[in-house]
Amino acid sequence: MDDLQQGDHQVLSRERFDEWRDKNRSRAIRARFKIALVEKVPLFAGLSKRELIQIAQVVKEAEFPAGSRLVTAGEPGGEMFMIIEGEAIVRAMPGRTTGLKPGEFFGEMSLIDGAPRSATVEARTPVRLLVLGQRDFWRVLDGTKTIVRKVMHTLCQRLREAEKSART
């Protein structure tokens, strides 16, 4: 008891209490909203509630207007993006484009191999995205095999598509 400092113990006034309670409530609402968004991303389908909560704690939500450049070919990459709403266009090879729809993700390649962005990705319409930073990307992959499989699956599909379009 002797170690207790004056100031450790704070008694909130009615106003400060209301402020604190409102802040906590809106934080809880935002957290629930983010979990609901994460739950809808196919990459995270089938995860436990606990895993979804962990991911919701580290992803950021971002909105960009149509025409925005989301990632630029040749630049270093530090994030992966999941499309919640809207559509994006991947410009991987001159004259060739690939469309990305809600539920799809991009930007994973640079996070995996550390090389610069392989393509430019632009917002075709206004887009709402979830963004996962590099360190959290690896934490999520380290903790969840199903996500590793889905990322590998998408990489294989993209390679097949790219080879097919290079042949035509």
Which residues of the chain form contacts with ligand CMP (CB under 6 A)?
A: 71, 77, 90, 92, 98, 106-110, 117-119, 121, 158, 161-162
Q: How far is the CB of 80 from ligand CMP (least distance, A)?
A: 7
Q: How far is the CB of 10 from ligand CMP (least distance, A)?
A: 47
Q: How far is the CB of 99 from ligand CMP (least distance, A)?
A: 9
Which CB sits closer to ligand CMP, 12 or 159? Answer: 159
Token couple for 37 = 């968004």
d(CA 82, CA 106): 7
How many helices and strands (H and E) does the chain possess? Answer: 5, 8
Which CB sits closer to ligand CMP, 34 or 117? Answer: 117
How far the first Cα of the chain sits from its last, in Å, is 78
Q: How far is the CB of 118 from ligand CMP (least distance, A)?
A: 3
SS3 56: helix
Which CB sits closer to ligand CMP, 23 or 114? Answer: 114
Note whether 132 and 59 are within 8 A (CB). yes
